[in-house]
Amino acid sequence: MIENQHSTQIKFARLSNIIEDSIVDGPGLRFVVFFQGCPHKCKGCHNPETHDFSGGYEAPISQIIKDLKNNPLISGLTLSGGEPFCQPQASYQLAKFAHTIGLDVAVYTGYTIENLLNEASSRPIYRKILKEIDTLIDGPFILSQRSLLLKFRGSKNQKIIDPKLSLKYNVAVEKNFE
Ligand code: SF4
């Protein structure tokens, strides 16, 4: 079950880390927000310190927005984790703001797009956030399917998804992410 969260504006996100200039979390130079808390506990996860929902720190969303606005070099925002969909309102607010300043938005999730479409049918916040994501890298990291040859993904089960088209047709629609 995906953690619920009311869809009113919130002021803080619980984060593990922020990297303001990554070249490995999607194409171009990207501002990456790592959420704290992950229910998936994938074997071989590279970020086990992000699993504990009470770990990390509370970051003001207004400060993240200010930092995004003041960074002229980045081409995109990536939300990673941890699990961004366990803080859907914070993810939505950040993704929506990124679009207002012309950034492209990528999100890494341990849920599959099928999980998320199912949730979106009854929870408006999941529809809202899926509409604000340009590229979704979905599914848990599966150690037995790990490959170093995959671009921007860790294991072969993970798909690169167009969430808007997936919502429209209610089925996983894959895309290129170069
Ligand atoms: S979904 Fe990501 S952060 Fe969570 S356990 Fe799996 S690999 Fe780690």
- Cα(45) to centroid of ligand 1, in Å? 5
Residue located nearest, by CA, to atom 1 of ligand 1: 110
Q: Per-residue pLDDT averaged across 62-75, rounded?
A: 97
Q: Is 139 in the pocket of ligand 1 (CB under 6 A)?
A: no
Judged by average pLDDT, the poorest of 88-92, 96-100, 151-155 is: 151-155
pLDDT at 15 exceeding the cut of 90? yes
Q: What is the pLDDT of residue 176?
A: 85
CA R_g for the chain: 15
The domain ranges of the chain are 14-169
Q: Is 56 in the pocket of ligand 1 (CB under 6 A)?
A: no
| Tokens describing residue 84 | 């961004």
pLDDT at 3 exceeding the cut of 60? no
Given the candidates 3.20.190.10, 3.20.20.70, 3.40.50.300, 3.40.1390.30, the CATH classification of the domain at 14-169 is 3.20.20.70
Q: What is the pLDDT of residue 7?
A: 56
Please state whether beta strands 30-35 and 57-60 pair in parallel, antiparallel, or not at all (unpaired).
unpaired
